Structure 1
Amino acid sequence: MTTKDIHNGDPIAIQPVSRPVSGCIVPPGSKSITNRALIVAALADGVSKLQGTLDSDDTRVMLESLERLGIQWEKLDDSVISISGCGGKIPVSNADLWLENSGTSIRFLTALCSAGHGEFTLDGNKRMRERPIVDLVNALNELGVEARCSLGNNCPPVTIRGAGLPGGTVHIAGNLSSQYLSGLLMTAPYAQEPLEIIVEGELVSIPYIEMTLDVMKRFGVEVETEDLQSYRIRPQRYKGCSYLIEPDASAASYFFAAAAITGGEVTIPGLSRNAMQGDVHFVDVLEEMGCVVTWNDQSITLQGRPLQGIEVDMNAISDTAQTLAAVAVFAEGPTRIRNVAHMRIKETDRVAAVVTELKRLGIRADEHDDGYTIHPGPVKPACVQTYDDHRMAMSFSLIGLKYPGIEIADPGCTAKTYPNYFEDLEKFCASAR
């Protein structure tokens, strides 16, 4: 497959391997950390040098929006960005920001714009206009910022009119997305008075909140929290610094899964048990299914073994739930993935999409309110629909490593977070063909 094949909009065929895949691969930088570091560095005093950044559609729209807000940045090479912070004072008083379908970007920037003085509008594509953001908007209004969903449907576009972020106490729902809370946390040090954030209900994707707190700490800001349900932030200032971003653990899941499915072995440098990203623990799930995992100081190695179906709560690592769906096809016995209802408001309804596409491949899959159950069986040739969802494309490509006749529609949708995914998968598997 070539770059032209992947980005011309036509489906691509996945070539099966004849032997276990083995090797070492470094995925691109973490999208989640990159976009958090960009927000914090943009607010900081002084210049920050971000190394290992991800170059993808999601980070591109973030950088373009920061530029529209008057933040100066420079790309030093493919993965290094120098960014001059604004010291908490957004330079412009009016901006229209276009975020495509990047949830991290629109939610983090909505919170950031609340610290500005003026009017800011944030919008995205058709799917973005279906993804809720009202809980964040309500929280900003509770703090005294004038914020509204312009179409009245609880989704973008969002308009912010403000004169800085007041302090006080605010309540925010935690059951749909941790990104609302992360956005508020990162902007909170620039509130005019101390700010307390209280989470109502279950907080999903807790590792992403821990990631946010870690990035904030690396730039010099402390947050008081005892149970991750309430947070106290006094007025502080981020300090520009040199910051190294880890390889993307969600992206690494596809290569761990490839080794698991084919009985091979893969090493991912740059990740470890101490990684900021909760998705490194996807390998714990594969270990529960029968694989062998070796944790090293600066790498993780996984060896594939015969797989057993399991029942697993993937709330904390839901971005890898689609990857596990592909692995489950090759297990002995059913696999039940639960507590991932919040996946329904991602790039697509990921619960329904996984079930639909597994059925297209001839696999029995049961849809539940909070996830799905997958019953292994023979796979029939089909063209997998991807719903403009990068994780659908990357996850279902793995099934084609063992079964012929699997095509992936719209493979270019992986540009959202991993533009070179199919090229990297081809290189990784080349020796096994």
Structure 2
Amino acid sequence: MDISIKKSKLTSHQNIQITGSKSESNRLLLLQALYPQIQIENVSNSDDSALMQQALNSQEELIDIHHAGTAMRFLTAYFSIQNNREVIITGSSRMKERPIKILVDALTALGADITYLENDGFPPLKIKGRHLKKSKVSLEAHVSSQYISALLLIASQLENGLELILEGKITSVPYIKMTLTLLNSIGVETSFINNTITVKPNAVEIKPQKLTVESDWSSASYFYSVIALSDLGSEITINSYNKNSLQGDSVLASIYKNFGVTTTFLEHSIILQKTSTISDKSSVELNLSNAPDIAQTIAVTAFGLGLECYMTGLHTLKIKETDRLVALKTEIEKLGGDVAITEASLHLKSAKGINDNVSISTYNDHRMAMAFAPLALKVPIIINNADVVSKSYPQFWEDFKTIGFSINKVL
């Protein structure tokens, strides 16, 4: 479904409930499969988390996780330790282009039985579950923190636990710390010293407990963008957020000060307010190595405000649902921007105007659709394949209508 989107009148003082964090939900769902005594509240209603739940509950041999990259990585580790269980795990055509060799090599070094069914280094995979006794492995740490988290999530079930040595520059450290904090919260003992992470085997029984997933900060980014592109005094409240978040994308509260947005933390919600203009700024420079998923939103915000923006630490964006750096360059330049990219950076040069009624291609990437949507505050735009938002935020367009956007199907 393609949609046209434009501003009617931004309705301030709206209260938006955002679904639970996909990152937290998928970690906890896997831990719940290993330790059924855990109960989870506010689980993400995203496609990715639904696919994760379905796969964990499935007794079928063929597991298809479609576009869900986190699920592919986490489930590869999970099924590797399901003794006497054999599965084939596959996904979309794009998923078959997303590398998984680093994780498979690490699991194989621990004793896992994994075979590539098509191209070496890529899904689909045939996995024969085993009882893994080895406990020490090294892993390249600069490619994706999800490989690291996948190993950590199963580590307490290994006979001798896990000693994981990280090689090279570690990317997305907050996501690794999120995984370790969730393990600690259920009673698993861990340590992270220099480049070595240790997870002790589960020596004590995990107690029955209820854990509540914090709402998704990546999803909050689109409302930060809306307020940044709005008039002074505009305000939106979003639920349910904590000041001391486990999510790396909570850095939004600090980053968006650059765009005139103030964040006020209440007990379980945040108020976003446009409190200043950016007239004293001409450029913004950011290292997003710890929060690459918000790069698209930030790029569009800066473009909408006519700011130059230079972002580094973006090397993981090339192996996402699409090559997000190429996609950003292509779509922003259709709108009249000037973008230069490298393997790990994006440089947006300041633009004098924005072309209207441009059709934004989304490349089967939920974040492309949602990142460009706030730009409708400046010019009418068209979002192609708008349904793709269901991957992480199914009610996104309804929430955008609530705050004053006019959204119509393109016939």
Confirm or deny that 1:269 pairs with 2:239.
Answer: yes
For 1:201-240, what aligned pairs fall within 5 Å after superposition?
201-227=168-194, 229-236=195-202, 238-240=206-208
Counterpart in the other structure of 1:255: 223
Q: Which of 248, 264, 267 matches 1:278?
A: 248
Separation (CA, whole Å) in 2 of partners of 1:297 and 1:28: 17
Separation (CA, whole Å) in 2 of partners of 1:367 and 1:384: 19
Counterpart in the other structure of 2:403: 428
Shift of 1:238: 4.0
Separation (CA, whole Å) in 1 of partners of 2:352 and 2:189: 51
Shift of 1:174: 1.4
Shift of 1:162: 3.6
For 1:46-195, what aligned pairs fall within 5 Å after superposition?
46-69=36-59, 95-118=61-84, 119-195=86-162
Separation (CA, whole Å) in 2 of partners of 1:36 and 1:255: 25
Confirm or deny that 1:335 pairs with 2:305.
Answer: no
For 1:234, the aligned partner's letter is: K
Shift of 1:112: 0.8
Separation (CA, whole Å) in 2 of partners of 1:230 and 1:138: 18
Separation (CA, whole Å) in 2 of partners of 1:238 and 1:185: 16
Separation (CA, whole Å) in 2 of partners of 1:50 and 1:152: 37
Separation (CA, whole Å) in 1 of partners of 2:391 and 2:101: 24
Shift of 1:297: 4.0
3-state DSSP class of the match of 1:301? strand
Indicate the larger mover: 149-158 or 176-185: 149-158
Shift of 1:183: 0.8
Per-residue CA distance 1:42-73 (angstroms, 9 max, x = gap): 100x433211111221112111111124xxxx
Shift of 1:179: 0.6
3-state DSSP class of the match of 1:167? coil
Q: Which of 265, 273, 290 matches 1:295?
A: 265
Separation (CA, whole Å) in 2 of partners of 1:29 and 1:250: 11
Separation (CA, whole Å) in 1 of partners of 2:352 and 2:316: 28
Shift of 1:21: 4.3
Counterpart in the other structure of 2:345: 371
Confirm or deny that 1:13 pairs with 2:4.
Answer: yes
Confirm or deny that 1:315 pairs with 2:278.
Answer: no
3-state DSSP class of the match of 2:170? coil
Separation (CA, whole Å) in 2 of partners of 1:133 and 1:240: 34
Whether the 8 Å CA contact 2:98–2:320 is kept in 1: the answer is yes
Indicate the larger mover: 160-169 or 15-24: 15-24
Per-residue CA distance 1:155-194 (angstroms, 9 max, x = gap): 1112222421223210111111111110100101011113
Shift of 1:18: 4.3
3-state DSSP class of the match of 1:288? helix
Whether the 8 Å CA contact 2:5–2:405 is kept in 1: the answer is no
- Distance change in 2, residues 1:242/1:128 (3 Å): same
3-state DSSP class of the match of 2:190? coil
Q: CA RMSD in A?
A: 1.8
Separation (CA, whole Å) in 1 of partners of 2:254 and 2:172: 17
Separation (CA, whole Å) in 1 of partners of 2:15 and 2:122: 41
Whether the 8 Å CA contact 1:21–1:258 is kept in 2: the answer is no
Indicate the larger mover: 159-168 or 51-60: 159-168
**% same residue:** 33
Counterpart in the other structure of 1:410: 385
Shift of 1:333: 3.5
Separation (CA, whole Å) in 2 of partners of 1:124 and 1:239: 35
Counterpart in the other structure of 1:358: 332
Whether the 8 Å CA contact 1:177–1:342 is kept in 2: the answer is yes
4+ runs deviating over 6 angstroms: none
Runs of 5+ unmatched residues, structure 1:
1-8, 70-93
Confirm or deny that 1:37 pairs with 2:12.
Answer: no
Give me the TM-score of the superposition, normalised by structure 1: 0.87
Separation (CA, whole Å) in 1 of partners of 2:119 and 2:170: 26
Shift of 1:14: 0.8
Whether the 8 Å CA contact 2:336–2:351 is kept in 1: the answer is no
For 2:105, the aligned partner's letter is: N
3-state DSSP class of the match of 1:153? coil
Q: Which of 364, 370, 382 matches 1:388?
A: 364
Shift of 1:20: 7.2
Separation (CA, whole Å) in 2 of partners of 1:225 and 1:368: 32
3-state DSSP class of the match of 1:113? helix
Whether the 8 Å CA contact 2:41–2:211 is kept in 1: the answer is yes
3-state DSSP class of the match of 2:39? strand
- Distance change in 2, residues 1:22/1:196 (3 Å): same
